[in-house]
Structure 1
Amino acid sequence: MFVNFRRIRKCQWLQLMTTCLLLSVVMVCWEELDNNVVSHVKSYSYRYLVNSFTFINKSLTIPREQARSFSNFQYLLDHPDKCINQDVLLLLFVKTSPENIERRNAIRSTWGNETYIQNSLGVTVKVVFVMGTIQTKKEEPAWSKRSGIGFQEQLLQEDRVHRDLIQQNFLDSFHNLTLKLIMQFHWMHSRCPHARFLMTADDDIFVHMPNLVSYLQDLSSKGVTDFWVGRVHRGAPPIRSKNSKYYVPFEMYPWMTYPDYTAGAGYVVSSDVADKIYHATLTLNASIYIDDVFMGICANAVGVSPQEHVYFSGEGKAPYHQCIYNQMMTSHGHVEDIYDLWRVATHPQVKQRTSGLGGSLYCTAVKLTLLCKPYHFNTYPCKAAFL
């Protein structure tokens, strides 16, 4: 029997290369896992052992004159009479950028259509789009060029037709999202304080308005207070990687964990909570530019805690299925598909096919398949399959 030493050497080199490749992949993944695990361990240790949120609130408290710099912006577009003499169930703010006119039109034609809501659901919901100003050096969008008029004039024309744009004179950017959040609570306080609920949402979110209205009507009949609901983040640590969009330097936030907060894609608060948040913004440093985290800081300062609702999505998009639509509140990441989703999600057959014992058992099985994944799926949790 002859041994082929050349083949053995080739196999050894192949094994060595494969081993090195596997080790490299493991090291990269372990580093990422290690950073994530260590950050959360530190966060939970700080949260439950040190528990210094009171100290954080005191550290972020500033004089009212200084805090006013985060809210004292001129209104360029405003509708102070939007809610006058109306019983408003929900005041819904859509965070948008000036150039996203197609997204706004899609919302006006689907889940944010006030006339549909009034006529079909029998309640008053006021939908307004909140924004800052576009960067002056930024290239104007194609529709503005085709119209032959300036960008701000185009917004004025849009507002003359729909009367639903609220704009303040600060730069509309990711790092000014907290200014946009403050703007919403200040606008409600001065323009629509009698609305029973406030909702804030991104302009790429889908809201199942019939489900949401039914849910809020039930809560309103019970006189709910201290209410804040959404997709809750608990014990989240600040991201210190400079490569991340959500990077927060130590100088801005030196502590190891954030107070509990809800994903900024979409959440709802009762009117009493909205009023408390408004007053919190009058004395808190709003330089941290992650708006949902700042909401958590404000809420913690006034003693309000968020509640989890499994059918409010986080950053993920909900699966497309009638068993999901039956209980859906929000889903994130919808632009081109919003018209089709609105049509199928609100179709009367959804309730018919998912009701009764047979429909309930069928939907439980479907949702187990769709939601109980062995990997992270940032929309509805597995437990939603059993509700």
Structure 2
Amino acid sequence: MTPVADSIETGPSGRPATPSDADGAGDRGPMARYRALVASGAIAADPVQAMAAEKLQLLYHALLHYRPNGGGSRNWRERLGLVRRAQEPAPQGLYIFGPVGRGKSMLMDLFFASAPVEAKRRVHFHEFMLEIHQAMHEWRQSNEGDPIPALAARVAQSSWLLCFDEFQVTNIADAMLLGRLFEALFQKGVVVVATSNTAPADLYRGGLQRDRFLPFIALITEQLDLIELDGPTDYRLLRMKGRPLYFHPLDAASAAKLDEVWSLLTDGAKGEPASFAVQGRQLEITRAAKGTAFMSFADLCGRPLGAADYLTLATHFHSLLLSGVPRFTPERRNEGKRFITLVDELYEHRSLLAMTMEAPIELLAASDDIEFEYRRTHSRLVEMQSDEYRERHHLT
């Protein structure tokens, strides 16, 4: 596990980054970097993205003159307690949310690269919470009482600018912890920038004991400026236009093509395991990143899962990558029926499906028991390859 405290960004030659490093030669923050990308033709001009870049630019300027009390290094008088630095009000952070593919992560990357801060960290939110839970476990091995104040102090000391990618809450353990953790972080002067596919009011919707989570939503909306990136263009899916989604046979070449789809949809993210509560049990996702899930056919259709599981998958992910789809012989009748149910849920929620298969989609049904039911599935799979289908908004 990466220790929560080991997160200082470094500059040239491995020394701690400084504001001059962050500015770079002639760079003036995220807005300049955004305009440079537009001018070079690397990205298209987008008024909604430009508005968000302006907000990030304002935060960039605020950070030029801000340093939290206790955040980062102190001089010898402060360390001896002879003088005490007054706590300045922290600049308001940002919560950037909206549909997938609108450029949220790109904008945060531009901000993070130029942020004039030594102690900063950009991290996937799921990874950060895993570290917090592990740090709490380790702390309790030799301490008593509440670990939150000590952990918040450690985080603030090493990384008082936190940039979270893919902020989402899917389990009760995180939900019950976040309010106290973030309240302590904000009290320490930590500044937060987060991206999410979910509006704050919809976080952990339908989760267990959600009423106890609502104060955290209130805290987020108070401490962070909310920016909705809701432009009409899904730039990530534009990369997929005209690209094949179904690959056969089940060989290394097909697997490599499915990996390429993953890279295009997730900007090359490694992905992390995820889990969702479904009717009192957990649905385990092998790998997830940026609204995309990767699972094997054996894990998703070879086990006794049902419509509720596939509904959860389809609502939480705009894209599913499925490996190892076999032909549905009489011995695989049950697996075939689950696959039909899965495709129905993905289709109804306009999710993208890419997969490796033993045979082309028109030959997957290899049993009279399933051939009739599979006809509609085949028709839907054909439609789900089309650019018209891909351009539809994912339904959550």
Higher relative contact order (CA 8 A, sep 6+): 1
| TM-score greater than 0.5 by the shorter chain | no
TM-score normalised by structure 1 residue count: 0.26
TM-score normalised by structure 2 residue count: 0.26
